[in-house]
Structure 1
Amino acid sequence: MTPPDPSLLGPLITQLRLARGWSQQQLAAALCAAAGTPTLTRHEVSRWERATRTPGDHWRRHLAAVLDAPAGLLVDATVRGRRPGPAAARSRSALLALAHRWAADPSTPLLLAPATITSVVRRVADEDGPGWCAAVGLAELRRLDDLAGGADLAPVGAYRLRCVVRALRRSGPNGRQRLLPTLAETAQLAGWLDGDAGRLASGVDAHRLGLRAAAATGDRALAGHVLASASHLLAGAGDAEGALLLARAGYAGARRAASRGLRALLLHRVALAAALTGRAPAGRQALDAARRAAETVEPATEPAWLYWLDGAELAAMTGRALVALGRPGPAVPLLGEALRAAAGPRGAAVYGSWLARGLVRLGEVDEAAVVAGAALRDAVRAGSARAAAGLAETDRRLAAHRAEPAVRRWRALLADARPFLPAGGVRDAPPPGWGPEGTG
């Protein structure tokens, strides 16, 4: 396991706390005393140290005071933690190369070496999950993902991945072959949860393992699903170019074997990524094709891993693409429908952030600020870096109207909520070559 990097905020807080001989409870008590509020608990300190959430300006000032550390040191560590580093860039390049190779010839099984499995599992499963992990199967974890964010569920996904790998190692050749689809599905879900928790490099690596496992079984549809998930992960991290390459590879390799729902999903991923990269004609073409495919989707006939693809989700995907294409008029009703049907706080936060962006484009700034405020509360509840990143983009859109009273109220609410947003949610510009920011 890679030792903690004290140049990043989480390990730095741990190092400074231990230097004073304090427990997390004692640090929380000192912060509450300094801030004059009893609301902070040791659980929030734990989230900061594990980098699942990032303290905002308010709590960073008090951290600097009670830990006797230069405020600039904490700010610099925060900025470093928000940028995709070299590990994420390497993971991205490796996944793009593998996806291109698979799409060129989906019938060729990809090598699934034991060393590959071990290296990915070490990166994803770097912490023990809560005690109830053992009671959560893959199907249950998928449905929990509808209700909670990666900050809470990533350790559970890591636990499930370890369980599958242990079973794989104990099995003979026939047993291993039967377990490969489960490995592919589990790696995809663990990677999605890791990415949603703000751990992009390990999330991308897990998707690469999922692609190898799906290809080893010859299941083109499952491989396409893994790439659709990875595409959306990169889009949410600001890498629309990478997202487009993965979505196109997934569609090229899986379209002949794909169900109607998977075909619609992959086309939607292409449409959104193309729109975010400024390729409006390609985005419109893919969106039109996705709509045609969606007209014939029958949820009862779709694979189990596409259980979530219903009318509300298809409406949300169409709405997001339309906002990205600069067509907020038809997008706003679709996103409103999706928001009303959202099953949990993360979905409500993601849909709400896109709805607010559409409303800003329509000139409905007051309503956009109200919608963004509700989405912000849901993002705090969800513990999802992806939801928080979408709101960071919404804030950039609202900033052009900062003189409006509703926007001033929104920005005050955002300032108060920043300490409770998950890590990775408010990004600085990505480094050169990573891709355009603000994809949400």
Structure 2
Amino acid sequence: MIPIPPPGPRLFGPLLAELRSARGWSQQRVAAELCAASGVPTLTRHEVSRWERQRRLPGDFWLGWLAVVLGVPGELLAEAAAHSRRLGAVPAAVDRAGSRARLALLTLAHRWAADPTGAALGGPLAGHALTGPAGGGSRPDREPAGPAPDLVPDEPPLAGVTGGPAGPVPGRPAASAGGDLAELRRWDDLLGGADLAGHGAQRLRRTARAFTVAGPAGRRRLLPGLAESAQLAGWLAADAGDLTGGLDGYRLALRAAVAAGDPAFAGHVLGSASHLLAGAGDPVGALTLARIGYAGARDAASPGLRALLLHRVAFAVALAGRPRAARPALDAADRTGGPEPGREPPWLYWLDEAELAALTGRTLVALGRPGPAVPLLGPAARGRDRPRRAAVYGGWLARGYLQLGEVAGACAVAGEALLDVVRSGSPRAVGQLTEVRGRLAAHRDEPAARRYAGLLTAARPYLPVGAAGGPGAARSRRPPSKPRQGGTTRSAGTG
């Protein structure tokens, strides 16, 4: 077993050299192990040498694989890399907000890929992790029944649940998480993360509190609900613009799903996280999570989930600028077909043919193929009863029209999507229209572009502000106790 260095700030280069020497490996051996584990054959010993000399620091992708091949916590390497950057020991590197949360999730995903039984995930669920996005995300303006008690600050063990495969609970569906969780999912059909992130975090806190005080049998029974609560809290935090909160929620959801013996839901969690990283401008991380999620869930997934995960792969590949690899993934998703009634899990109720068509259209726009994309995006973008979905795909439809040179059409679609953003309260959807606004800059003198600019100015006071605007910036409304009559039974997509 490789000894873990003592706690405290370490420089990355010396730490890597120490860990390599403890294994008796050469730099060439480290490079070979990384290539074999990651499936990327181009890394050489020269790159490992640069890391050790701190001429360069590895990004999240290689940090995750280094943790796997060296058998050390990903946080150890991430902290050393961050310390080296702070001291100016290496040239400045791109370090987006939430990079440590991304690295932690990537490391966990790599470990699950290496050992699907879950033994490689090891260790108890941390008390900090159990708070999920609640730790720094927004909270609802009013608590339903007083403040939730603090969770146990230390790391409560899973009493044998996380040390290896746990298997599903006899007599209990793996997706069961309580009626209030299902209700919150359906409110997500109508409202965005700016309204619901605090409620999702609160739901996760309640589930985590029950988990920490339960005995071994109770914890096993609560694992599926904990996984679903964490996934939904992560999704809502991400939709509110809280990248770190979203990734923290997904990390807890992955651990709980694997401990519950539910690889299908674990794959869904990684697909949701891939969706988040793709929107955050990290296509490499998005592709890594999407591929691991599909590989780990493929044998257990329903047809609809397999198609969704293949779409996650195709989109990440497209954003990474690899069109030849995106087409096979899209073709595979198409061959898988759509959701099959009676075979899909309850948490995937929102996936329908229109959603899958829009996912294909979005990827085609990312590939610069607007012709076939526009008709695929149209139905989802014009669904007024699902405002967030209409806003998000409306942004992609507007980009498709711009690629076709149809500025007036793009502005008309973007204007409709802008109203849907206001209706839904989704900061994530605002990001799509921000992209459209930037692309319209080249056409600012055209009448349609000027009209859209005026509409955007008028709507600005009503646009949702999420976690990116600062702690507690997300507005929140308390949902009624029951969904409104005639509300949607299909969703804008809960991830």
- Structure 1 match to 2:277: 234
**Cα deviation code 1:285-332 (max 9, x no counterpart):** 11111111125x304320011111111111111111111111111111
- Structure 1 match to 2:474: none
- Identity over the aligned pairs, expressed in percent? 62
> For residue 113 of structure 1, what is the amino acid of its counterpart?
L
- Structure 2 match to 1:363: 405
Q: Larger deviation: 218-227 or 97-106?
A: 97-106
Structure 1 residue corresponding to 2:294, chosen from 251, 263, 266: 251
- Counterpart Cα distance in 2 of 1:119 and 1:85: 25
Q: Does 1:261 pair with 2:304?
A: yes
Q: Larger deviation: 410-419 or 248-257?
A: 410-419
- Counterpart Cα distance in 1 of 2:110 and 2:95: 23
Instruction: Report the Cα offset of residue 250 of structure 1.
Output: 0.4
- Counterpart Cα distance in 1 of 2:130 and 2:230: 12
- Counterpart Cα distance in 1 of 2:181 and 2:457: 37
| Alpha-carbon contact 1:130-1:156 (below 8 Å) kept | no
- Structure 1 match to 2:232: 189
Paired residue secondary structure (1:422) = coil
**Cα deviation code 1:128-156 (max 9, x no counterpart):** 55345899711011111111000000011
- Structure 2 match to 1:101: 111
Q: Does 1:220 pair with 2:263?
A: yes
| Alpha-carbon contact 1:99-1:249 (below 8 Å) kept | yes
- Counterpart Cα distance in 2 of 1:152 and 1:233: 18
| Alpha-carbon contact 2:361-2:373 (below 8 Å) kept | yes
Q: TM-score, normalised by structure 2?
A: 0.66
Q: Does 1:204 pair with 2:214?
A: no
Instruction: Report the Cα offset of residue 259 of structure 1.
Output: 1.1
- Counterpart Cα distance in 2 of 1:201 and 1:316: 27
- Structure 1 match to 2:381: 339
Instruction: Report the Cα offset of residue 249 of structure 1.
Output: 1.1
- Structure 1 match to 2:357: 315
Instruction: Report the Cα offset of residue 108 of structure 1.
Output: 2.4
Distance change (3 Å), C-alpha of 1:392 and 1:299: farther
> For residue 298 of structure 2, what is the amino acid of its counterpart?
R
| Alpha-carbon contact 2:133-2:248 (below 8 Å) kept | no
Q: Which has the higher contact order (CA 8 A, sep 6+)?
A: 1
- Alignment: residue pair count: 343
| Alpha-carbon contact 2:130-2:205 (below 8 Å) kept | no
**Cα deviation code 1:82-105 (max 9, x no counterpart):** xx9765111011111111111222
Instruction: Report the Cα offset of residue 194 of structure 1.
Output: 0.6
| Alpha-carbon contact 2:238-2:276 (below 8 Å) kept | yes
Q: Does 1:123 pair with 2:135?
A: yes
- Structure 2 match to 1:29: none
- Structure 2 match to 1:137: 180
| Alpha-carbon contact 1:398-1:407 (below 8 Å) kept | yes
> For residue 318 of structure 1, what is the amino acid of its counterpart?
T
- Counterpart Cα distance in 2 of 1:133 and 1:381: 28
Instruction: Report the Cα offset of residue 381 of structure 1.
Output: 2.2
Instruction: Report the Cα offset of residue 234 of structure 1.
Output: 1.4
Distance change (3 Å), C-alpha of 1:132 and 1:294: farther
- Counterpart Cα distance in 1 of 2:468 and 2:442: 18
Structure 1 residue corresponding to 2:102, chosen from 66, 82, 92: 92
| Alpha-carbon contact 2:241-2:466 (below 8 Å) kept | yes
**Cα deviation code 1:249-269 (max 9, x no counterpart):** 101111111111111011000
Structure 2 residue corresponding to 1:330, chosen from 365, 372, 375: 372
- Counterpart Cα distance in 2 of 1:284 and 1:133: 51
Distance change (3 Å), C-alpha of 1:207 and 1:425: closer
| Alpha-carbon contact 1:379-1:421 (below 8 Å) kept | yes
- Structure 1 match to 2:69: none
Q: Does 1:167 pair with 2:210?
A: yes
**Cα deviation code 1:1-52 (max 9, x no counterpart):** xxxxxxxxxxxxxxxxxxxxxxxxxxxxxxxxxxxxxxxxxxxxxxxxxxxx
- Counterpart Cα distance in 1 of 2:402 and 2:370: 9
- Structure 2 match to 1:9: none
| Alpha-carbon contact 2:134-2:245 (below 8 Å) kept | no
Paired residue secondary structure (1:300) = coil
**Cα deviation code 1:34-91 (max 9, x no counterpart):** xxxxxxxxxxxxxxxxxxxxxxxxxxxxxxxxxxxxxxxxxxxxxxxxxx97651110
> For residue 358 of structure 1, what is the amino acid of its counterpart?
G
| Alpha-carbon contact 1:353-1:391 (below 8 Å) kept | yes
> For residue 454 of structure 2, what is the amino acid of its counterpart?
A
- Counterpart Cα distance in 2 of 1:365 and 1:426: 30
Instruction: Report the Cα offset of residue 170 of structure 1.
Output: 2.4
Paired residue secondary structure (1:137) = helix
**Cα deviation code 1:371-416 (max 9, x no counterpart):** 1011011112222121000111111222221121001111122233
| Alpha-carbon contact 2:194-2:466 (below 8 Å) kept | no
Distance change (3 Å), C-alpha of 1:122 and 1:341: closer
| Alpha-carbon contact 1:299-1:309 (below 8 Å) kept | no
- Structure 1 match to 2:328: 285
Q: Between Structure 1 and Structure 2, which shows a larger proportion of helix residues?
A: 1
Report which of the two structures shows the higher radius of gyration computed on alpha carbons: 2
Distance change (3 Å), C-alpha of 1:133 and 1:262: farther
